[in-house]
Amino acid sequence: MLALVIRMGKLGTTLAVTAASVAGSALITASIFNALDTELPLVGWIATFATPLVVAPTMSWVILSLLFRIHRLEQQMRDLATYDALTTLYNRAPFLVCCEQYLTLARRNKRPLAVLFIDIDHFKSINDTHGHEVGDLALQAVSLLVKQSLRDSDVAGRMGGEEFVVALPETGMAGAIAVAEKIRIGIEQAPIAIGHERLRCTVSIGLSVFHHNQDLGIDALLSEADKALYESKRSGRNRIAVHRETQHTTSAAAIGIEGLALKPHV
């Protein structure tokens, strides 16, 4: 019923309720006078139609305004629970739900699933030097560049603070490295405007890939990517670290990626 009311809108629903009220009032009045075997005078018919024509639109509009306001507030609450208000990426819990679904499909279809952990380098220094408003701009700029580097089927989330995470379904090692390097270079080459100045920031990325023959849950897969991220930061930042298959930390250009992906990310 609520969905029908929303589709009709306040005006359409008000007109429908008014028409139904007028018809109902006339039907009830006629039935009563027929039962009494008495003819309803003209003034009675006028009152029968005038009352719902005056009362129904006013009451309907007020009630519908409250109903639509409650609906908007509920939608806003759902959005706040699902999406990060600053970056519009998924919050942690909804992101993990998506990852669980992707992991189930990857295991069932025997396909790879890659996960990227992304962290803004020296973010505390950005906040301390330029203020939290600039820090928020950096978070928004990085999240936008991450989204622009992904396919529609990919999922990105904000895990908290300056940490982001990305799930790449149907993506093996080579494709994941390519995406990670695209994100890294894109952020490095896109300075953030601060008045007349330009702030350059970089990110470190940890990468892990699930293959169908592995007995891994989503928490373990994310933990692998997080460990790779730590290695990336320990080795100098602004670089990619790959868990398991590649033990050293370097840029994607220096990693041998030929033949590693079951289905390259495009």
**Residue indicated by tokens 């908007």:** 72
Which pLDDT band holds residue 257 (cuts at 50, 70, 90)? very low
249 and 179 within one domain: yes
Task: Please state the domain count of the chain.
Answer: 2
162 is catalytic: yes
**Residue indicated by tokens 């730590």:** 230
In a domain, 259, yes or no: no
213 and 124 within one domain: yes
Q: Which residues have a Cβ under 8 Å from the Cβ of 210 and sit 6 or more positions away? A: 103, 106, 112, 113, 114, 115, 216, 221
Tens digits of per-residue pLDDT, 80-131? 667 888 999 999 989 999 999 999 999 999 999 999 999 999 999 999 988 9
Q: Which residue in 74, 162, 163, 170 is the catalytic one?
A: 162
131 and 243 within one domain: yes
CA dihedral 224, 226, 228, 232 (to 10 degrees): 180
pLDDT of residue 181: 95
In a domain, 201, yes or no: yes
DSSP conformational letter for 61:
H
**Residue indicated by tokens 């129904």:** 56
pLDDT of residue 258: 31
Tens digits of per-residue pLDDT, 7-49? 777 677 777 777 777 777 778 777 777 777 677 677 766 767 7
pLDDT of residue 79: 59
Q: Are strands 240-242 and 203-210 parallel, antiparallel or unpaired?
A: parallel
Tell me the residue range of the domain where 74 lies: 2-82
111 and 186 within one domain: yes
In a domain, 229, yes or no: yes
pLDDT of residue 113: 94
User: What pTM, to 2 d.p., does this model score?
Assistant: 0.67
C-alpha 241/C-alpha 244 separation (Å) is 10
Helix, strand or coil for residue 164? strand
